[in-house]
Amino acid sequence: MPEGDSVLQLANRLHFMEGREVTGCSFRVPRYATVHLEGTSCQRVWPYGKHLFMQFDDRIVHTHLKMEGTWAIHYVGDRWRRPAHSARVVLALANRPRDIELVGHWLGLVEVFGLDDYYESIADLGPDILLPRWDREEAVRRISMRPGRSIGAALLDQGNVAGIGNEYRAEACFIAGVHPAARVGDIDYEHVLDVARRIMWANKDSPIRVTTGVRRAGETTYVFGRNNAPCRRCGTLIQKGFLGGVDAGGDEGELERVIWWCPVCQPAPVGSNRGQPGWR
């Protein structure tokens, strides 16, 4: 699933929309099939965490890429590079000599609502970790409210902090020397959060996501996706497991997610075994 830096970069790519008139519009989602934006102008495009927002006069289009979503940009009349059945939103924008077409494929979420409903739409989200002046204190407060929860689950909870995904969770925990199954109340969770902010901010404009400082292929991460590979610090083989999920005592709707860690650099929580608390 794209993380906050990917959605920020997408929003930056789409800033050209601002000020352009909508000349064609199609929402291929039953609930919004009758919505028409033709004649409106795009006022603003911006991200919040993993969510993308587009304002057209007094209405907002809210989308989420989820696992497979993508936005294609081309001229009206050009052959689509992805199947037509995957399109969820199609927008045409005024441009000379040919209008520009944006197609949102495989979008996991599509909503259209009035401008006044924006803050309600983000009410369940924590502070956006990639805002220039982000509300760190509020994110810390939200995480601290559940000291018995694993730091791995807390970081992925978008209600605590918006924008962190599985890759940055894995890398932040490694850099901080914390096992992702460690309980919030047993570690310096503020340091882990600060590491996540630092590495995400460093990558916000980068076409290649790098947390090691090395941009060569296969060397960009410490633990993410590196099961059974040697730790870049100590040489111990990286381990892979699973954390969270309803069956493991997680919150309703929480998904079990893959975790990676170095057994030496990130020792398991004292007194815990795989399967407790909530990891295997």
- The secondary structure of the chain, three-state, reads CCCHHHHHHHHHHHHHHCCCEEEEEEECCHHHCCCCCCCCEEEEEEEECCEEEEEECCEEEEEECCCCCEEEEEECCCCCCCCHHHEEEEEEECCCCCCEEEEEECCCEEEEEEHHHHHHHCCCCCCECCCCCCCHHHHHHHHHCCCCCEHHHHHHCCCCCECCCHHHHHHHHHHHCCCCCCEHHHCCHHHHHHHHHHHHHHHCCCCCCCCCCCCCCCCCCCCCCCCCCECCCCCCECEEEEECCHHHCCCCCCCCEEEEECCCCCCCCCCCECCECCEC
pTM of the entire predicted model: 0.93
pLDDT computed for residue 89 by the predictor: 98
pLDDT computed for residue 279 by the predictor: 62
CATH number at 4-121: 3.20.190.10
Q: Which residues in the chain are classed under CATH 3.20.190.10?
A: 4-121
Q: What is the pLDDT of residues 235-244, one digit of tens each?
A: 999 999 999 7
Q: Kindly indicate the confidence band of residue 269, based on its pLDDT and cuts at 50, 70 and 90.
A: confident
**Distances 79 to 14, 52, 83, 84 between C-alpha atoms, Å:** 20, 25, 10, 10
Q: Which residues in the chain are classed under CATH 1.10.8.50?
A: 136-261
Average pLDDT rounded to a whole number, residues 102-131: 98
> How much of the chain exceeds pLDDT 70, in percent?
92
> Does the structural domain 136-261 have CATH classification 3.40.50.1820?
no
pLDDT computed for residue 253 by the predictor: 65
pLDDT computed for residue 19 by the predictor: 98
User: Which amino acids are annotated catalytic?
Assistant: 2-3, 50, 257
pLDDT computed for residue 250 by the predictor: 65
Task: Give the least confident one: 17-31, 61-75, 138-152, 263-277.
Answer: 263-277
- Is 90 exceeded by the pLDDT of residue 119? yes
Cα-Cα end-to-end distance for the chain: 22
Average pLDDT rounded to a whole number, residues 44-68: 98
pLDDT computed for residue 255 by the predictor: 76
Q: Rounded mean pLDDT of the chain?
A: 94
